[in-house]
Every structure is written in structure tokens, then in C-alpha cells.
Amino acid sequence: MDFSKPDLIDKDALVFSEYVWSTIYGDKPFPKEYFGNHQKGLKALGLKIDSNYKDDDD
């Protein structure tokens, strides 16, 4: 997996996430529409990115 930049998701991360999901939820479909970049799927949920948000590096 490439951790050189934030939210850089590759195929291996998706496969791993699907595996972890299946161990918890069994045959329930993995929600790929919300996987990866934090902005994906927000519009469908009626959400948006807060342009005033500042990361506090905790």
C-alpha cells in the first residue's frame, strides 16, 4: 500500500477492506461507494466538505 500521500488508496487496500468487512458482516454487500477518498459518496448522504475545517494533528 502506498502511504506517501493522504488517502492514496490502491486495489490491495480495497481487497483488504472487503475481507475485513466480510469477517464482520458476512454476505452483506461491501459499500464501495463510500470507500476511498473522503469526498466520495458525501453528496448522496446530503453532506459536504467543511472548507473551514482545520486539522488539529492529534
pLDDT, residue 16, reads 87
Query: What pTM was computed for the model?
Result: 0.47
Query: Mean pLDDT for each 10-residue chunk of the chain (58 residues)?
Result: 62 85 95 70 74 72
What is the spatial distance between Cα 38 and Cα 15, in angstroms, rounded to a whole number? 18
| DSSP conformational letter for 30 | P
